[in-house]
Structure 1
């Protein structure tokens, strides 16, 4: 089982060659090596990572769109069984509120994650929560409300969100590695750290996960715009470790064409991982055009 950072110290060549590589490239190589390990001992990745579970339940994202478009997406996702909607906000406070109102009309029982992607000032972020409270809406999470380097603003929003409304605040762009994670932990700057393998690498992610768990900080797992290869790996990790309070692995569901098959079965928001060796996913290939 791979569940502790120390296990990876037995991969010295990978550490030597990848320590200064861009994180996306490093993450890809680390995924391939760890997948090879799982294949060599004939177990799925989720078991290699600890075997806590063989499934995860993801949210799904509504991008910055008009209120009418947001309502249409919310109704569609409700029909597919999604209970948690992640709403991109931060461009215009008043427009964000109108979108939230429209979504509530068609999906009144949904849970909200707000993702501002650094879009607000601290005062604006707190105002959003105040206005949502007037509507009777309490998000389950407020992700990266302020600029990644606005540490004071992040702390101020975290304090106000929790004290006034019991809303947790997540650091995403503010956590770019273990040093940032330690700063967040020791400064009580956020309640949740968002883990992205493309941002941290697999080994770096495990270091941050280990530090957060020891400090009692909650964890979220997310990703960039990725296919079932990277999202599937992240899902295996999340299922196997079983330590994530928030799962945001929806981007394969939003792709117009998926070049990957296998790895897991998706039924609405639930990804179920099989007992196939390693990752279990493969590219769609043909003899003429490569992947299709």
Structure 2
């Protein structure tokens, strides 16, 4: 059921695990979200604005506002001053939105704290600051987490810094971040469940995200998030950003809301034409 053009063993393992778990759910005739606990059959995702000009960002923000998205995830970290200008432009067209900042390791600790200082001067408080520093800059991650929470009550998420259970335990025991971002392609399904369990026992909040993936992987992650019901942040938007998705089914999308109404398993299928290409 799950197909990956994979560049790492973890991605391959994730694909195999998804297929096996989907087969189990189909065999006992229940949807995946019920297999994962049945807390809910829907999730509400944010949507990403990439690194673009302020004008392009404003156009995207206005479009997403019209579609009902209230949380915008903004890619930052290339240029601090440009990032601030983009934020200003977005606020003009979507003043009520919530921001997640995702630096993808792009800042130093001092730069990350400066971003929060300048946003505070604008009256903007992000709901989350994702991976502000390099994945191996553990001291910087801790320093940003402390400053962000103490000064502005902003939570900091570890994404690239959490590559498995050992990293998660280091983050938990060192109080290095407030949130751990779960990505199935990064951790595998079983590995993700281990990290989720450790974080929940430690009282660490959870985010679920993904790579650039189709409705197969995103749908599986959505089923997992809905079924477990333990994620504070949902970032499963990449199928909405693809020019063409070779998958249909798996969930119904209405703006930011994904509803899982399939009778059993994942519910998604590859859509092939007679020439073995995508329809």
TM-score normalised by the chain length of structure 2: 0.97
Mapped contact 1:18–1:26 kept (Cα < 8 A)? no
Q: 2:46 & 2:228 partners in 1: Cα distance?
A: 19
Change (3 A) 1:48 1:89: same
Q: Shift of the alpha carbon at 1:195?
A: 0.1
Comparing 267-276 with 159-168, greater Cα deviation is found at 267-276
> 1:44 aligns to what?
31
Secondary structure of 2:167's match? helix
Gaps of 5+ in 1: 1-13
Mapped contact 2:4–2:11 kept (Cα < 8 A)? no
Change (3 A) 1:21 1:118: closer
The 5 A counterparts of 1:142-291 are: 142-291=129-278
> 1:60 aligns to what?
47
Q: Shift of the alpha carbon at 1:255?
A: 0.2
Mapped contact 2:76–2:103 kept (Cα < 8 A)? yes
Q: Shift of the alpha carbon at 1:203?
A: 0.3
Q: Shift of the alpha carbon at 1:15?
A: 18
Secondary structure of 2:61's match? helix
Q: 2:132 & 2:4 partners in 1: Cα distance?
A: 35
Q: Shift of the alpha carbon at 1:142?
A: 0.0
Q: 1:144 & 1:138 partners in 2: Cα distance?
A: 16
Q: Shift of the alpha carbon at 1:275?
A: 3.5
Gaps of 5+ in 2: none
Q: 1:277 & 1:268 partners in 2: Cα distance?
A: 24
Q: 1:159 & 1:265 partners in 2: Cα distance?
A: 39
Q: 2:110 & 2:43 partners in 1: Cα distance?
A: 35
- Deviation sequence 1:114-147 (CA, Å, 0-9, x none): 0000000000000000000000000000000000
Change (3 A) 1:120 1:18: closer
Q: 2:85 & 2:185 partners in 1: Cα distance?
A: 33
Q: Show structure 1 runs of 4+ deviating over 4 A.
A: 14-21
Comparing 272-281 with 181-190, greater Cα deviation is found at 272-281
> Of the candidates 102, 106, 109, which is equivalent to residue 122 of structure 1?
109
Q: 2:52 & 2:266 partners in 1: Cα distance?
A: 34
Mapped contact 1:31–1:202 kept (Cα < 8 A)? yes
Let me know the Cα RMSD of the aligned residues. 2.7
Mapped contact 2:49–2:74 kept (Cα < 8 A)? yes
Q: 1:16 & 1:194 partners in 2: Cα distance?
A: 22
Q: Shift of the alpha carbon at 1:290?
A: 3.1
Q: 1:218 & 1:125 partners in 2: Cα distance?
A: 21
TM-score normalised by the chain length of structure 1: 0.93
> Of the candidates 86, 93, 97, which is equivalent to residue 99 of structure 1?
86
Q: Shift of the alpha carbon at 1:289?
A: 3.2
- Deviation sequence 1:86-135 (CA, Å, 0-9, x none): 00000000000000000000000000000000000000000000000000
- Deviation sequence 1:19-57 (CA, Å, 0-9, x none): 997100000000000000000000000000000000000
Mapped contact 2:178–2:205 kept (Cα < 8 A)? yes
Secondary structure of 1:266's match? strand
Q: 2:276 & 2:230 partners in 1: Cα distance?
A: 41
Q: Shift of the alpha carbon at 1:286?
A: 1.6
Secondary structure of 2:62's match? helix
Mapped contact 1:212–1:218 kept (Cα < 8 A)? yes
How many residues align structurally? Answer: 279
Q: 1:157 & 1:133 partners in 2: Cα distance?
A: 15
Q: 2:4 & 2:179 partners in 1: Cα distance?
A: 31
Mapped contact 1:54–1:273 kept (Cα < 8 A)? yes
